[in-house]
A and B are shown apart, each in its own frame.
Chain A
Amino acid sequence: MVGDNSVRLADDSTVPADRVPASLIPIVRRFSRRLRIGLFLDAFPQWAAGALLAAGCAALVCRLFVPAADPYLFWLLAAPALAILPASVLSIRRAYRPEEVLAIVDALTGGDGAVLTLAERHDQAWSHASQISRAAHAALPRFRPWRRLTIVVPALAFLVIALLLPRRTPAAGPSPIADDVVSGLSATLKELQSHDLVTPEEEKQLQQEIERVRKAAEERMDASAWEAADAVKEKMAANAAAKRDAASWAQEALARYSAAGGSTGNPDAASAKAELSKALEALARSGALVGVPMDIQKMLADGKLPGDAAALGKLAAALGQYLGDVQSRLGEVQGFGGRASRFDPSEFAAAGEGEGDGAGAGNTPGRGGITRGRADAKLTYGQESLPAERFKAQALPPGYVRSPDDWAPVVNMPGAPIVAPEASGRAAARAYADDAGQAAFRRTLAPRHQSAVKKYFKP
């Protein structure tokens, strides 16, 4: 009821309540409600099927191309809920007008036009007619939504199948191999970091180079990737070697400076001091002073070496201890300790036939050819290849020529030509004509072929 005077039906329009007999108001309301639900159920399946199909397509795309969305895909099962809104809007827009509702009520409940008549003409005299009481107690139409909802089933099946599709695993790309290429470099860099043998700038630069090598290996995996990795490793080894050399030089210079006593009047001391200063500068440039203790830093802060013997001795002791520590740390680095480059001296240890100084197998030179050995190995002489005189000429035993008359037939094969000097050449040609290809020569050509044959031979 709207206010006291009207009955609200399917939409905002109303029928004056006094137009409809009171006994009909409940049935009209129930009819109106059921018609609204029926309209919604008419519209909902198509929209739900559409939503499920769209959700199925989305699930399919996510399964194939967006693996990260997997945890959220099962929310797509709620897609039919989205269809409620458009279905509701459609059912409201298609709502039955009050007179349409009354016409349906009249037609379906056996009103014989009485319901319509009383709605159009208010007359209480007929409000208790048999048609009215029959209509008031009529059965409502029953819902039959299943046939309409069958179109949802294939769409739902499509979505479920899309959700149950196995997740697509990405094919094994170059990434693991690329990681393997740079794994040694990364390990060596970490080792250098743990031993305080690399400056932050060097570390940053090396990391950039390692990353560059890795990306290049991902894009194209071939021998060049390994060569690039070896180059970086060699660079790291070269830096370590430079540090080692600088530390050795500094140790030697420090020893000489200590031996000179540090006296300013002593010329050897002055030259030793200058050498020590240069050695310390080279040490600083090499980056070997990264983890130098604070006391040494203080002593070297002003760039001048201490003049008194006590301070000098203290510096020498501390610096010597530090340099020894640097040497030992460099020795502990396993990443390129014995194999700092692609050149592996151990491979040539067994071939130490050269005249090296015996300091190590890595100094053993090669013997020529492609396995000549290290480029920095000392050149040796006297073990050249054997002289060409070893290959002397050897005289073969003399041969002989058989006489043309010294022959006799071994066997006569069937069909073998029999030499008959008395027969004429023409007769012999006839006798052996078949074997000599005369059959083909004498074959008669068809007239239409003759011109072709002539043309072939006489172009």
Chain B
Amino acid sequence: MITDTRPLLDPDAVGTAQTSIARVVDALRRVILGKEDTIDEVVAALLGRGHVLLEGLPGLGKTELVKALSRLLSIDFRRIQFTPDLLPTDITGSHILQEVDGRKEFAFHAGPVFTNLLLADEINRASPKTQAALLEAMQERRVTIFGETRPLPFPFFVLATQNPIELEGTYPLPEAQLDRFMFKVDVAGVDRAVLEEILTTRVHGEPPALTPVLDAAGLQRLFDAVDAVHMPRAVANYTSRLVAATHPESSDAPPQVRQFVKYGSSPRGAIAIGAAARGLALMRGKPNVGFDEIRRVAPAALSHRLVLDYSARLEGWTGRRLLGALLEAVPDVERGLPQTLEART
């Protein structure tokens, strides 16, 4: 058995990282009011170097969140508004015939994908061919055009948004595309108190001005710290049991999963949970991942990776709801207490 012998992060390093992350989070919370959970999930995914799909109704601040994040991180930011007539080369770039020194030759013009933070707005409005142009970029972090493979800058994040309504003329993301996203974050509406605060503190809804709190080097240090967060074997065991239980044929799968899920999560889901949980642990000032971090990130990491049966829609079961049932069914520790012992709450 290969054992991880690296030392734990020292408390100072953890404290420094937590402070940096907290600055980003606090700034985001000033911009997007009443979306603490959404912000935590997006930041945790970024720390895990994953892509995020934001799904919510129009006007809930999805785009504003991404824009605020780009300003805070002081990294290159591009935005693509996906439309049905968008072509793959509009994303990746293409070779253009131009005259150089009296002779004509093809010169490569990089597309908007060559950036650090890409906002793919309303990604489901582009054709599948165009959506597929992002597949290699998201997974391999490189783009191949006319046989030439070009690496994307580091870091590279895709934060996509999509609208769950107005589905006419849209192209739902295929499973392979969805699987590339570390998280699918459901952006919910805001309550009355938040609206009241928006009205009293914002003029025309304009967010407060932001100044960068983290540069690329600082982000790299954060990534290094995230990589050094320890995941105990029992916690990894819990994660693996959780992901395995998303498959209806698994013996640990709860009845709801067996009834409503056609295909469970891929191993990429477990990897996503591990990466995001490390980021979340660092955000909480811990040198290790605990069971609670896994429980916190699992719904966002797994809900879009479940292929649901048609009956699930009829019965009103969504991926998030199924994940709730899954988290209740799978115990933290594989072998729990004897039946004659009862834990004190």
A residues at B contact (CB < 8 Å): 34-35, 38-39, 41-42, 96, 99-100, 102-104, 106-108, 111-114, 116-117, 120-121, 123, 125-126, 131, 139-145, 148
Contact = CB atoms under 8 A, between A and B. Distances in A.
Contacts of B3: 120
B292 interface: yes
Interface string B1-44: 00110111011000000000000000000000000000000000
Nearest to A149: B340
Which one of A35, A41, A139, A141 has the highest number of Cβ atoms from chain B below 10 Å of its Cβ? A141
Contacts of B344: 139-142
Given A104-B333, A107-B333, A141-B344, A116 B232 contact: yes
B233 interface: yes
A96 B335 contact: yes
9 residue pairs, one from A and one from B, having the closest CB atoms: A113-B290, A38-B338, A116-B232, A112-B290, A117-B288, A103-B234, A41-B340, A38-B341, A141-B341
Contacts, number: 109
Contact of A38 (B233, B281, B337): B337
Contacts of A148: 339-340
A113 B340 contact: no
Main secondary structure of the interface of B (DSSP, over half): loop
A125 B230 CA distance: 14
Contact of A141 (B287, B288, B343): B343
Contacts of A96: 335
A141 B337 contact: yes
A42 B286 contact: no
Interface in B293-311: 293
B235 A125 contact: no
B336 interface: yes
Nearest to B286: A112
B289 interface: yes
Contacts of A140: 344
Interface in B301-345: 332-344
Nearest to A144: B342
A103 B336 CA distance: 9
Given A39-B338, A111-B290, A114-B290, A106 B343 contact: no
A113 B233 contact: no
Nearest to B14: A126
A96 B334 CA distance: 11
Nearest to A121: B8
A96 B295 CA distance: 25
A106 B333 CA distance: 9
A41 B281 CA distance: 38
B288 A42 contact: no
Given A35-B341, A117-B230, A141-B343, A107 B291 contact: yes
A39 B292 CA distance: 27
Contacts of B343: 108, 141
B341 A142 contact: yes
A50 to B, nearest CB: 18
B9 to A, nearest CB: 9
Which one of B6, B230, B336 has the highest number of Cβ atoms from chain A below 10 Å of its Cβ? B230
Nearest to B340: A41
B230 A42 contact: no
A103 B333 CA distance: 6
B341 A144 contact: yes
Contacts of A113: 231-232, 234-235, 281, 286, 288-291, 293
A15 to B, nearest CB: 13
Nearest to A106: B234
25 contacts: A38-B339, A38-B340, A41-B340, A42-B338, A99-B234, A100-B335, A103-B332, A103-B333, A103-B334, A104-B333, A106-B232, A107-B291, A112-B286, A113-B234, A113-B290, A113-B293, A114-B290, A116-B235, A121-B230, A125-B11, A126-B8, A126-B11, A126-B287, A141-B344, A148-B340
Given A113-B291, A121-B4, A123-B287, 11 more contacts: A35-B337, A38-B340, A41-B340, A102-B234, A107-B332, A113-B235, A113-B281, A113-B288, A120-B230, A121-B230, A126-B287
Contact of B8 (A102, A104, A106, A123): A123
B274 to A, nearest CB: 13
A100 B233 contact: no
A145 B342 CA distance: 10
B285 to A, nearest CB: 10
Nearest to A113: B290
Given A116-B234, A121-B230, A141-B342, A104 B290 contact: no
A143 B343 CA distance: 9
A41 B233 contact: no
Contacts of B338: 35, 38-39, 41-42
Contacts of A102: 234
Interface in B213-258: 230-235
A111 B235 CA distance: 12
Contacts of B292: 112
A34 B341 contact: yes
Which one of B287, B337, B343 has the highest number of Cβ atoms from chain A below 10 Å of its Cβ? B337
A32 B276 CA distance: 33
B290 A125 contact: no
A113 B293 CA distance: 10
Which one of B4, B332, B335 has the highest number of Cβ atoms from chain A below 10 Å of its Cβ? B335
Contact of A120 (B233, B291, B335, B342): B233
Contacts of A145: 340
Nearest to A103: B234
Contacts of A100: 333-335
B8 A125 contact: yes
Contacts of B288: 112-114, 116-117
A140 B334 CA distance: 19
A19 to B, nearest CB: 12
Nearest to A116: B232
B10 A125 contact: yes
